[in-house]
């Protein structure tokens, strides 16, 4: 009899172990598919909206909203049906989702809405992947709730499965840019994802089979219900706490990603890094033995906020963008880990598991809506990032072991005074402004800066135990000072659209008043007041200037010109009376900026009657008759990045069709972070185009004389080499000189052309 019991116990143990590992595998597979479809489908959609960074933020709103819907479905299913019925219903809905596979752009959504791109994009995602994403998103809470019916030793506390599922999520985010995107085209990716969905359906079916003998009878169900009533349900305060602690990291995720992709490139690689860090925080805090204790994070989080404030104050130009990106990611990780750590500590018993996940998901949705929809409407810059940092500061605990608190106790005052926080914040503001006024490079002035710098650091550190003071310090450092300091010129224009933030500043340069337009950290146009001289990347010594001067001087064959990207309208001042120019610009706000005579006068004085066609250039060009242009200028930038879909073979095929047989295409490919020369060379060659490149650089003397003439790289393309010879002959000694001459492009035999189906951003990093 004892032997039989022993054998039975051994069999049950093996069965329970099998159930445990099957659930881990199923949840990891589910999370892998869930987070694989996010960058995959967003990349598929990206070209329809000009490669704008906001596409990812809008996509994240959809993903978070459907995730919430999935959690609500899981809660309803687990509370209204027996386990057996739950399994049947869930499997039926998964089978129905197969009808939406493989993933593709649905008919009727090939062209975006110009008036409401965000709403249009949300509709596209809903129709294309709504049901498959919805049904997979429900798996995390639903399978954890099912696991409570097993006889596993941790069945009473299945939150460790949430950490396991996030490992699958991180694996997907790492695998996509590092392997899947490189090895497979988008069409192949969608088919592979469909096979993965079928495999997941099989795994969930197995989970149901293994649980069939463990389903509680009606009496046990009744007992569980009594136990649930006996346990205290979460109150309103608990729900609000969960929502807030989920809201902040979610909003920080999107805000951080938006800042990074604006200045580098809207691509899956840069989407998944912040998202991977975000998910890693869940893995850590929901693990049974967290590798980073929450107590340690609670200690360093305030100092992380201080470091973020100091770094942002000292990072004001494009040259420091890479350190800024790294610093932003580290800061985001620590702050998200702090909030999620508090969230994990506040989690309820497993009987209220689905309620907890619903509140957590709802907070995530609110964060996405705030950053993706509300903030672009109410803020003219990315101020939401600073407000979120201030909110994190307010979530920090009050500590009494600060210098001021000790002094206060010595003199018999309260240890915490909000009035003192405000006074200290005003002192901090004065010290920061004092430092900004000390602009001299003399040693004595540099030494004078040490005193206020030391005081600023002490005030910031002192604020670590006082949430209000810390929040005010962050706000002063990152919001107030940039608005009133005027260190980079007087702000005369600042507006925000779906495609980013545009600013124009007035500054004095070599005794001249100049207007400078920027998008992100990159200058998009400069004009000296009272002059129509093309500056920045378009001056006479650049590749564009060389081409247009040569035509005007020798051939005068260029009669019709199309330009992709308007900017400040600088290029139009190369136009001649007999020429017909047209611009293609995706953002209506850019045309408003370029045509405002208070900002720039290029368009009003050189091309007042010039047409500007609003919309994505590729979609707009498709409507233009073939062989319409003698010259096509491609100069489309989002901050410092060129939308990848304008550099693919399909894009070059369109450009080739729209120019005349003897026409020229010229591309602006200047970039601080990506070497696009080999990509352009091999891709244009695949389209049957011949290419030459002109990289303009200037020495120190020229830089002092002409500070607003920038280095730039332009590539000219034509259907035959002799069409290029007519305008831009090759250098006679190209082997010894790579700058300030026209030369052939260089690439390796291993370089692959980019297409709409395939692109490898990693290969282009400098």
Four-residue CA torsion sign, 158, 162, 167, 172: positive
Length in residues, the chain: 766
pLDDT band at 639 (very low <50, low <70, confident <90, very high): low
Q: With pLDDT > 70 as the criterion, what percentage of the chain qualifies?
A: 78
What is the CATH architecture of 18-214+234-378? Up-down Bundle (1.20)
User: Pairing state of beta strands 580-585 and 611-614?
Assistant: parallel
* Strand-by-strand arrangement of the 512-519 sheet: 490-497, 500-509, 512-519, 522-528
pLDDT of 446 over the 60 cut: no
| pLDDT tier for residue 449 given thresholds of 50, 70 and 90 | low
Predicted model pTM:
0.75
Please check whether residue 524 is in contact with residue 517, taking contact to mean a CB–CB distance below 8 angstroms: yes
Cβ–Cβ < 8 Å for 501, 490 = no
Tens of pLDDT, residue by residue over 582-614, are 999 988 899 999 999 999 999 999 888 899 998
Contact 761, 269 (CB under 8 A): yes
CA distance 301 to 464: 9
Pick the CATH number of 534-764 from 3.40.50.150, 3.20.20.150, 3.40.190.10, 2.60.40.10: 3.40.50.150
**Token digits of residue 617:** 């250039």
Report residue 424's pLDDT band, with 50, 70 and 90 as the boundaries: low
Residues paired with 581 in a beta bridge: 561
What value does the mean pLDDT take over residues 621-645? 83
Find the range with the poorest average confidence among 294-303, 320-329, 400-409, 646-655.
400-409
Confirm if 714 and 693 have CB atoms less than 8 A apart. Answer: yes
The pLDDT, as a whole number, for residue 230 is 46
- Asked if residue 28 has pLDDT above 80, the reply is yes
Is the predicted pLDDT of residue 408 greater than 60, yes or no? Answer: no
Let me know the angle formed at the C-alpha of 559 by 554 and 561, rounded to the nearest 5 degrees.
Answer: 115
> How far is Cα 566 from Cα 636, in angstroms, rounded to an integer?
8
Residue 630 has a pLDDT of: 92
Query: Where are the domains positioned within the chain?
Result: 18-214+234-378, 403-485, 534-764
Tokens 């026409």, residue? Answer: 663
DSSP structure class, residue 289: S
Q: 343 with 360: CB under 8 angstroms?
A: yes
Q: What percent of the chain has pLDDT over 90?
A: 20
Residues 6+ apart with CB under 8 A from 609: none
**pLDDT for residue 211 is more than 80:** no
| Identical fold between 18-214+234-378 and 534-764 | no
627: left (phi over 0), alpha (psi -120 to 50) or beta: left
pLDDT, residue 193, reads: 94
Angle at 465 between CA 463 and CA 471, to 5 degrees: 50
- In 3D space, the residue among 187, 373, 170 whose CA is nearest the CA of residue 273 turns out to be 170
pLDDT tens readout for residues 539-569: 988 989 888 887 777 667 889 999 998 989 9
394 CB-near residues (< 8 Å, 6+ apart): 467, 468, 471
Contact criterion met (CB below 8 Å) for 536 and 565? no
Model confidence at 441, pLDDT cuts 50, 70, 90, reads: low
Please give the Cα distance from 379 to 258 (Å, whole number): 14
Burial class (CB in 10 A: 0-12, 13-18, 19+), 487: exposed
Please tell me whether residue 277 adopts helix, strand or coil conformation: helix
Given this model, what pLDDT does residue 1 score?
38
Identify the weakest region by mean pLDDT among 140-144, 212-216, 248-252, 477-481.
212-216
CA 181 to chain CA centroid, nearest Å: 17
| Tokens 């901090």, residue located | 428
pLDDT tens for each residue of 646-669 = 889 999 999 999 999 999 999 998
Which is more confident, 616 or 437? 616
Instruction: Judge contact between 418 and 442, C-beta under 8 A.
Output: no
DSSP letter, residue 572:
G
Smallest CA-to-CA distance from 177 within 272, 45, 262 is with: 272
The backbone torsions φ and ψ at residue 717, rounded to the nearest 5 degrees and listed phi first, read -130, 145
Choose the weakest-confidence range: 23-27, 227-231, 511-515.
Answer: 227-231
What is the structure's pLDDT at 638?
63
Among residues 529, 498, 532, the alpha carbon closest in space to that of 516 is found at 529
Closest alpha carbon to 584 in 535, 636, 654: 636
Is the previous residue joined to 102 through a cis bond, with omega within 30 degrees of 0? yes
* pLDDT score recorded for residue 419: 62
Confidence (pLDDT) at 4: 43
Rounded to the nearest integer, the mean pLDDT of the chain is 80
| Residue 436: predicted pLDDT | 58
pLDDT value, residue 8: 43
Is the Cα torsion angle 144, 149, 150, 153 positive or negative in sign?
A: positive
Question: Which pLDDT band holds residue 229 (cuts at 50, 70, 90)?
Answer: very low
For residue 227, give both structure tokens. 């136990």
With residue 134 as reference, give the H or E element that holds it.
helix 117-137
**Pairwise CA distance, residues 384 & 488, whole Å:** 22
**Which pLDDT band, with edges at 50, 70 and 90, does 633 fall under?**
very high
């Amino acid at each position: 009899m004892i032997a039989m019991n022993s054998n039975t116990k051994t069999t049950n143990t093996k069965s329970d172990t099998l159930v445990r590992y099957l659930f881990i595998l199923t949840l990891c597979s589910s999370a892998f598919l869930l987070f694989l479809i996010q960058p995959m489908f967003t990349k598929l959609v990206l070209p329809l909206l000009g490669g704008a960074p906001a596409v990812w933020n809008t996509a994240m709103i959809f993903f978070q909203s459907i995730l919430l819907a999935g959690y609500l479905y899981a809660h309803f299913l687990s509370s209204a049906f027996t386990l057996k019925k739950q399994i049947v219903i869930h499997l039926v809905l998964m089978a129905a989702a197969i009808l939406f596979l493989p993933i593709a752009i649905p008919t009727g959504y090939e062209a975006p809405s110009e008036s409401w791109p965000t709403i249009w994009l949300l509709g596209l995602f809903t129709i294309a992947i709504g049901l498959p994403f919805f049904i997979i998103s429900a798996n995390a809470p639903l399978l954890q709730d099912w696991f409570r019916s097993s006889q596993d030793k941790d069945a009473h506390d299945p939150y460790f499965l949430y950490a396991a599922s996030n490992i699958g999520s991180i694996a997907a985010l790492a695998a996509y840019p590092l392997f899947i995107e490189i090895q497979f085209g988008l069409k192949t990716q969608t088919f592979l994802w469909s096979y993965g969905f079928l495999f997941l359906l099989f795994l969930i079916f197995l989970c149901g089979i293994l649980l069939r003998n463990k389903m509680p009878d009606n009496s046990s169900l009744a007992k569980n219900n009594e136990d649930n009533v006996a346990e205290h349900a979460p109150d309103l305060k608990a729900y609000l706490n969960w929502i807030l602690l989920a809201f902040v990291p979610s909003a920080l995720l999107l805000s951080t990603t938006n800042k990074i992709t604006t200045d580098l490139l809207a691509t899956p690689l840069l989407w998944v890094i912040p998202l991977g860090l975000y998910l890693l925080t869940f893995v850590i805090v929901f693990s049974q033995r967290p590798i980073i204790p929450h107590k340690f994070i609670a200690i360093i989080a305030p100092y992380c906020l201080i470091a973020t404030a100091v770094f942002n104050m000292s990072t004001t130009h494009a040259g420091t963008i890479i350190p800024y990106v790294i610093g932003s990611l580290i800061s985001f990780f620590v702050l998200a880990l702090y909030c999620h750590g508090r969230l994990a500590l506040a989690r309820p018993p497993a009987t209220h598991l689905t309620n907890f996940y619903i509140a957590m998901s709802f907070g995530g949705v609110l964060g996405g809506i705030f950053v993706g929809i509300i903030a672009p409407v109410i803020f003219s810059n990315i101020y939401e990032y600073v407000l979120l940092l201030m909110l994190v500061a307010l979530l920090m605990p009050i500590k009494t072991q600060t210098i001021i608190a000790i002094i206060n106790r010595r003199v018999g005052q309260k240890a915490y005074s909000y009035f003192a926080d405000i006074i200290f914040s005003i002192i901090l503001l004065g010290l920061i402004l004092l430092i900004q006024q000390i602009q001299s490079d003399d040693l004595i002035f540099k030494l004078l800066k040490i005193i206020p710098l030391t005081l600023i650091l002490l005030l910031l550190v002192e604020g670590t135990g006082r949430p209000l003071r810390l929040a005010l310090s962050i706000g002063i450092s990152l919001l107030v000072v940039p608005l009133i300091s005027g260190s980079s010129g007087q702000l005369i224009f600042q507006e925000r659209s779906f495609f980013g933030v545009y600013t124009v500043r007035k500054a004095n340069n070599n005794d001249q008043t100049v207007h400078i337009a920027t998008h992100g950290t990159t200058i998009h146009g400069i004009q000296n007041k009272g002059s129509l001289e093309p500056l920045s990347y378009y001056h006479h010594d650049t590749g564009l200037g060389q081409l247009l001067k040569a035509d005007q001087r020798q051939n005068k064959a260029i009669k019709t010109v199309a330009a992709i990207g308007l900017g400040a309208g600088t290029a139009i001042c190369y136009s001649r009376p007999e020429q017909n120019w047209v611009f293609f610009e995706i953002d209506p706000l850019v045309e408003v900026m370029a045509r405002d005579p208070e900002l720039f006068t290029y368009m009003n004085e050189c091309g007042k009657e010039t047409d500007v066609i609003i919309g994505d250039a590729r979609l707009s060009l498709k409507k233009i008759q073939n062989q319409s242009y003698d010259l096509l200028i491609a100069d489309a930038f989002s901050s410092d990045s060129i939308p990848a879909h304008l550099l693919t073979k399909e894009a070059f095929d369109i450009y080739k069709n729209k120019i005349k047989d003897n026409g020229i295409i010229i591309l602006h490919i200047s970039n601080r972070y990506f070497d696009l020369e080999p990509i352009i060379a091999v891709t244009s060659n695949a389209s049957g185009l011949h290419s030459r490149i002109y990289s303009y650089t200037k020495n120190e003397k020229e830089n002092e004389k002409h500070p607003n003439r920038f280095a730039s790289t332009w590539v000219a393309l034509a259907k035959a080499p002799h069409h290029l010879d007519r305008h831009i002959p090759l250098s006679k000694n190209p082997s010894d000189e790579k700058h300030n001459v026209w030369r052939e492009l260089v690439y390796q035999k291993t370089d692959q052309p980019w297409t709409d189906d395939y692109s490898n951003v990693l290969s282009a990093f400098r």
